[in-house]
Amino acid sequence: MNSSLLALNIVEGPLIVTCYVLSAVCGVVLLVGRSRRLAVLSGFAGVAGALAGAFTLLVAEVFMHAFGGPLGWHVRFWVIACFAGLGVCAASLRRSRPWRKALACAAALSFTVTATLGINVYYGLHPTVASILGISLAPRMDPDPIKPHAPAQHQVPLWESWKPAAQLPAEGTTAQVVIPPQNSGFASRPAGLYLPPAAQVADPPALPLVVLMMGQPGNPDPQYVAAVLNDYASHHDGLAPIVIVADQLGDPNVDNLCLDSPLHGHPETFINRDVVDWARSHLNIIDDRKYWTIAGYSHGGQCAVSFAAKYPSIWGNVLDISGEEYPGAEEPETNLQEIFGGSQAAYDAQKPVNIMKQRTYPDTDAIFTASTDDPMYLEAARHVSAAATAAGMTVTYYEVPNGGHVIGALNGGLNKGFEVLYPRLGLSGPG
């Protein structure tokens, strides 16, 4: 597919406006210009379609729990509107001329595409055609291995020691990298990589490392964290962490609980061994847990806090953005049987709050964020952050104003997270 087409913005701009206008025109034309009886029939068909859409949402959302939580009213509006439009299209196929039948078929496609794009605008996590198709526009990079570096010892903070080069790039760069699953055998997708301006100069400093995991379904796309860190870097002499946006899912349609299992492979080993080993051997990073952060959004947020709880010798910091309370919290009964063979004790042993009860974390910084209008994940953040505090972590708990469980929550969490982490990582002065 043409790269310019893949890069089209589908959240704002002429494409989305054109879709809205085209669907509105199709709807008006299908409803007018017919006899009164057929116009009334089309109106009734639209109402019937809307009711069918509402019933479908009720069954999927309430009885089947297909979405893991309540949908926003924006999403419900678009689903009901689409079903209503399809009802009008169906009625327009009856006793109509060929041109109207053709228009009804075209309108059905337009209504479906517009509703899909309207829902995507609400979530905001797929800003381009490429993103919604799961295609990364970042160029492929194959970094050469670097010489092993000794662990940092009493390092002078970068904000004090770093002198930016005269030709410092204005922004960081993003790329795709393939991380071999040498220990895990896990079939991951290429990871995203963000290199800040300070990493692109002739003699770059060793920088902190962040491993970030996105939600499910989702793509290991570095554009969101890149946008946030480019802003931070612009105010801190080009300094920012190097970020690997790792794929903990493999199959974006499957929740593997971020646990090694016969059913879903070994994502836990992949992140905590393969990704870590690759970062050490290919990236100019500070080899010290204090400067290493495991982070995630939604599904990835749960993975992040689980890994921080299990592997404190690797991760000195954790950023949990709108994460679930424990692995597979959306379908606990199904996961209990499929992953744990019905053993509730085995399942409970994988829950972060229980893992943290078994140890202390005297030198781990943890940031938990969730949105004020996202009650299920807000409660999870409160519960897990309290357990982290009790276990000795230095905890920041933050509620993102009205961010939902969409792009506002992600951006709000990333911004707050790096506000807290920058002094800890030596990228800015205290406060």
Q: Are 88 and 31 in contact (CB under 8 A)?
A: yes
The pLDDT of residue 257 is: 95
Average pLDDT, the chain: 91
Residues 114, 145: one domain?
A: no
Q: What is the mean pLDDT of residues 321-349?
A: 93
Tell which of 123, 148, 166 closes a domain: 123
Residues 92, 141: one domain?
A: no
104: domain range? 3-123
Q: What is the mean pLDDT of residues 310-338?
A: 94
Q: How confident is the model at residue 65 (pLDDT cuts 50, 70, 90)?
A: low
Strand partners, 210: 243, 293
Is residue 266 in a domain?
Answer: yes
Residues 230, 259: one domain?
A: yes
Say whether pLDDT at 39 is over 60: yes
Residues 187, 75: one domain?
A: no
Is residue 114 in a domain?
Answer: yes
- How many alpha carbons fall within 13 Å on the CB side of residue 23? 24
The pLDDT of residue 62 is: 73
Residues 99, 216: one domain?
A: no
Stronger pLDDT, 155 or 257, i.e. the higher one: 257
Alpha-carbon span 1 to 4, nearest angstrom: 9
Residues 300, 417: one domain?
A: yes
Per-residue CA distances from 308 to 292, 339, 384, 426 (Å): 10, 21, 12, 20
Helix (H, G, I), strand (E, B) or coil at 105: helix
Is residue 430 in a domain?
Answer: no
Tell whether omega for the bond before 98 is within 30 degrees of 0, i.e. cis: no
Residues 69-110 pLDDT 10s: 667 788 899 999 999 999 999 988 877 888 889 999 999 999
Say whether pLDDT at 154 is over 60: no
Say whether pLDDT at 256 is over 80: yes
The pLDDT of residue 116 is: 92
Residues 387-424 pLDDT 10s: 999 999 999 999 999 998 889 999 999 999 999 999 99
Alpha-carbon span 139 to 192, nearest angstrom: 10
User: How many distinct structural domains can be found in the chain?
Assistant: 2
Tell which of 83, 98, 123 closes a domain: 123
Residues 164-202 pLDDT 10s: 888 899 999 999 999 999 999 999 999 999 999 999 998
Q: What is the pTM of this model?
A: 0.87
Residues 89, 160: one domain?
A: no
